[in-house]
């Protein structure tokens, strides 16, 4: 092999045998490990650059006056307020719809479906994750919105006294509820995958003990599986939330937006989300308008950062505890 050439001079007196062998440094090793460290550090740099560039470019936006901010807003904060509300509201609605579904599907795959089918059914749900978001948007606006509009009409006519369903029902079905349904379908795969993973890890012996004591299957799941999986479910919800907050095109296509803060689900005056607003406005924005949009992006970045951070912290705490079972 390629013996190190700088070793021989010190060969005669090799009293501490182990020491010199360790000090041998090969050029190839240096270069290779150096390049891996470089690549790793590059990730730090990229993330720092994302934060720095966003902050630098959004700086002018925070001091923008009334003429520079689009729409009737007085300053930047009154412009971004409805957008933040819309983002959080749409993501919240999506999670309300998706969480029970995800838990149900994960339970079906992990505990109800026949063993041989379970793997395949998991793939089928993962298929949903492979569909590009623009296709979801197209489907949402051309198929789903038309399909659900009669239901909205019925809800508005009969349950209009509930504040959520009040207001004039949109004739096109392009409302925030439709957007939330599309978002829910889009975050289902990741939530299902995480839930399924924790359900499968539930201690087998606990399950069998519960069944042996005469519990029905649903009681077994409630007593042995769900308590074990609680933190996993929470982290699945947070991951889904992170996805739903950042989703752009589906909302941009499905929603008919307005600059309002309103919890009404069925009207055509819907609060827009940050991401969708950027996508819709960016092509026409100039000068300070661009800075303002980038500043809203910075706020979105911070929100998703916090959500993901909390999710990871929960997962990490769970990993620390799971050795105890």
Partner 1 sequence: MSTTTAAPAARPMTNSLAAGRLPRFSPIFLLIGSWIVMGAVYGMLAAAGTLEGFDIVGTVFFGTVLFDVALFVWSLVVEGGRRARDRLITSLVCTAFVIALLPLISLIWTVVAGGVHRFDLTFFSSSMRNVLDEGGGALHATVGTLEITGFAALISVPIGLLTAIYLVEYGRGWLAKGITFLVDVMTGIPSIVAGLFAFALFSLFAGPGIRAGVMGSVALAVLMIPIVVRSAEEILKLVPNELREASYALGVPKWLTVVKVVLPTAVAGITTGIVLSISRVIGETAPLLLTAGFTASMNYDLFDERMMTLPVFVYTQYANQGPEASDFINRAWAGALELILIVAVLNILARLVSFFFSPKTGR
- Smallest separation, CB 172 to partner 1 (Å): 14
- Smallest separation, CB 290 to partner 1 (Å): 6
Residue 167: how many CB atoms within 10 A of its CB? Answer: 17
Q: At what angle do helices 76-107 and 274-281 cross, to 10 degrees?
A: 120
Q: Is 48 exposed, middle or buried (0-12, 13-18, 19+ CB in 10 A)?
A: exposed
- Smallest separation, CB 277 to partner 1 (Å): 10
Q: Is 183 exposed, middle or buried (0-12, 13-18, 19+ CB in 10 A)?
A: buried
Nearer to partner 1, 109 or 259 (CB): 109
Q: At what angle do helices 145-158 and 176-201 cross, to 10 degrees?
A: 100
Nearer to partner 1, 247 or 264 (CB): 247
In DSSP terms, 257 is beta-bridged to 270
Nearer to partner 1, 61 or 264 (CB): 61
Contact 133, 283 (CB under 8 A): no
* Backbone dihedral angles phi then psi of residue 258, each to the nearest 5 degrees: -150, 160
Q: Beta-strand (E) ranges in 185-291?
A: 257-258, 270-271
- Supply the DSSP symbol for 272: P
- Smallest separation, CB 139 to partner 1 (Å): 5
- Smallest separation, CB 163 to partner 1 (Å): 26
Nearer to partner 1, 164 or 290 (CB): 290
- Smallest separation, CB 57 to partner 1 (Å): 4
Nearer to partner 1, 225 or 259 (CB): 225
Nearer to partner 1, 77 or 112 (CB): 112
Distances (CA, A) of 178 to 23, 101, 147, 250: 65, 17, 10, 10
């Amino acid at each position: 092999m390629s013996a190190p050439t700088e070793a021989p001079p010190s060969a005669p007196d090799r009293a501490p045998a182990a020491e010199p062998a360790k000090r041998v440094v090969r050029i190839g090793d240096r270069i290779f490990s150096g390049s891996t460290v470089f690549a790793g550090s590059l990730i730090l740099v990229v993330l720092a650059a994302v934060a720095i560039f966003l902050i630098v470019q959004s700086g002018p936006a925070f001091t923008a006056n009334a003429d520079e901010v689009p729409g009737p807003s007085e300053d930047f904060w009154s412009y971004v307020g409805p957008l933040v509300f819309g983002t959080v509201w749409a993501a919240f609605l999506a999670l309300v719809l998706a969480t029970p579904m995800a838990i149900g599907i994960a339970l079906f795959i992990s505990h109800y479906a026949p063993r041989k089918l379970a793997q395949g059914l998991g793939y089928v749900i993962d298929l949903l994750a492979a569909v590009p978001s623009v296709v979801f948007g197209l489907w949402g606006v051309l198929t789903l919105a038309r399909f659900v509009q009669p239901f909205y009409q019925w809800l508005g006519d009969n349950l209009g006294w509930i504040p959520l369903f009040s207001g004039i029902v949109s004739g096109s079905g392009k409302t925030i509820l439709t957007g939330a349904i599309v978002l829910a379908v889009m975050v289902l795969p990741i939530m299902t995958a995480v839930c399924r993973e924790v359900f499968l890890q539930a201690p087998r012996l606990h399950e069998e003990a519960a069944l042996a004591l005469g519990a029905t299957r649903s009681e077994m799941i409630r007593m042995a599986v769900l308590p074990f999986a609680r933190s996993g479910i929470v982290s699945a919800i947070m991951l889904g939330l992170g996805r739903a907050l950042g989703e752009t095109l589906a909302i941009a296509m499905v929603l008919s937006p307005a600059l309002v803060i309103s919890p009404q689900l069925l009207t055509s005056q819907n609060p827009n989300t940050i991401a969708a607003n950027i996508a819709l406005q960016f092509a026409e924005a100039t000068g300070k308008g661009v800075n303002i949009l980038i500043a809203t992006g910075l706020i979105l970045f911070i929100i998703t950062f916090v959500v993901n951070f909390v999710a990871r912290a929960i997962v990490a705490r769970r990993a620390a505890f799971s050795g105890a079972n």
